[in-house]
Every structure is written in C-alpha cells, then in structure tokens.
C-alpha cells in the first residue's frame, strides 16, 4: 500500500468513526467560549507551499493578537475545554481533514509557521520540505509537553529557536532518512501510547 493510500484510508476511516466525538467536542467548545469551533493557521507544507492547518479552537478569540504564536505553560488565553483538548492532543484531530485534502500525511515532520521555517538553513529546508508534513513524528512524541517545557524558560521564544527547534529538525531529518510503512506504523502506535500515558 502506498503512503498516500494508507493516509487516505485511515484518515477517512478516522473521520467516520470519530464523528460522535467531534460533535461532542464542537458543542463543548461552543458552550465554553464565544468563537468558531475550528482554528486555522498558515503553515508551510511540502516544497514550501503554504496551507491552512485545522485544529479545534483551544484559545479565546483573537489569541494570536493578544500574545506570541507559541503556547507557553499555563497560557491565560487557553479556554477550559482547550486545556483538556491540548492535554490529550484532541485538538489535533481536525488535521485528518488536511490529510484527506492531501496537504498533510498521518506521519511526517510537523509543519511550522513561516516565521520559523525562515530560520532553516537552505540545506535543511530542502530536506525537511521534500516530504509531506505530518500529524505526528519522532519530535511530536519527544516534545509532547512542549508548552510545559517552554513555560519554565525565561525567554520562551529564544528557547524554542535555540534549543528545541534544532533538535526537532534533527528528528525530521531522521524520519525522512528512515521513513517506511513500518516506521509510520510504529510512530502512530508510539503516539497513541504517549497520549494514553497522560491519563
């Protein structure tokens, strides 16, 4: 099975099976705070093409206008429902739509905002953007509590750029060099285990 068929099959199946959960989450978000159910943000995709990533909204309206793009520690912009959705990565579920649209894969380097992609070296940019970005990968598992880590930093933006991003890029390159059906399956299972470990 090709990677695209694998992605399309499991993303479509996930959308069907998870419909009741999506409806519950949508109602919870709407009852918890004013604003849309989904949050969309520009990310950089394969070959540098921009696209809008889907997430369940976990912050108050106009959150980006009220603070940094990074989410740090107990960010006051996060809603009550948003805190739960973030903890268990449920806010990422709408990215199955990006997978179906062909903008993302189930597994691949996480897509960054243009601001951080502009910091990649030319060589790294060519490598990292040579594949479809994904919902999960090695870096997503390693930094599953990234906002907590950044919450301890004196300067979160600097800590992300100088400490976390270089390590993430190393994981992205590792995935690209190792990628296969079995690696993708292993990373999907590892992601589910990591999320279950938070319960």
Contact 184, 99 (CB under 8 A): no
Give residue 72's pLDDT. Answer: 64
Give residue 13's pLDDT. Answer: 95
List of long-range contacts for 82-86, beta carbons under 8 Å, 24+ apart: 82/29, 82/32, 82/57, 82/58, 83/58, 85/25, 85/56, 85/58, 86/58, 86/147
Number of folded domains in the chain? 1
Give residue 71's pLDDT. Answer: 66
CA–CA separation, 92 and 86 (whole Å): 8
Q: pLDDT tens-digit profile of 81-139?
A: 998 998 899 999 999 999 999 999 999 999 999 999 999 999 999 999 999 999 999 99
- Token output for 154: 């004196």
The whole domain housing 128 covers 3-196
Nearby residues of 1 by Cβ (< 8 Å), 6 or more positions away:
9, 181
Provide the 8-state DSSP code for 59: B
Give residue 77's pLDDT. Answer: 84
User: Which phi and psi (to 5°) does residue 165 adopt?
Assistant: -60, -45
Give residue 102's pLDDT. Answer: 96
CA-based nearest residue to 119, from 44, 52, 171, 63:
44
How would you class 60 by CB atoms within 10 Å of its CB: exposed for 0-12, middle for 13-18, buried for 19 or more?
Answer: middle
Give residue 65's pLDDT. Answer: 59
CA–CA separation, 97 and 89 (whole Å): 16
Give residue 154's pLDDT. Answer: 82
Residues of the chain with pLDDT under 50: none
């Amino acid at each position: 099975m090709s990677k695209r068929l694998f992605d399309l099959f499991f993303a479509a199946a996930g959308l069907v099976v998870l419909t009741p959960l999506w409806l519950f989450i949508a109602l919870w978000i709407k009852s918890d705070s004013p604003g849309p159910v989904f949050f969309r943000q520009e990310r950089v995709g394969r070959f540098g093409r921009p696209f809008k990533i889907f997430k369940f909204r976990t912050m108050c309206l106009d959150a980006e206008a009220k603070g940094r793009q990074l989410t740090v520690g107990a960010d006051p912009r996060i809603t009550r429902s948003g805190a739960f959705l973030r903890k268990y990565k449920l806010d990422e579920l709408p990215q199955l739509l990006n997978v179906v649209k062909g903008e993302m894969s189930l597994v691949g380097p996480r897509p960054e905002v243009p601001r951080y992609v502009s910091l990649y070296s030319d060589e790294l940019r060519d490598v990292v953007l040579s594949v479809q970005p994904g919902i999960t990968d090695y870096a997503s598992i390693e930094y599953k509590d990234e906002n907590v880590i950044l919450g301890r930093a004196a300067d979160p933006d600097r800590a992300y750029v100088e400490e976390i991003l270089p390590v993430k890029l190393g994981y992205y390159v590792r995935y690209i060099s190792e990628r296969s059906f079995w690696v993708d399956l292993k990373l999907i299972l590892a992601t589910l285990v990591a999320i279950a470990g938070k319960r």
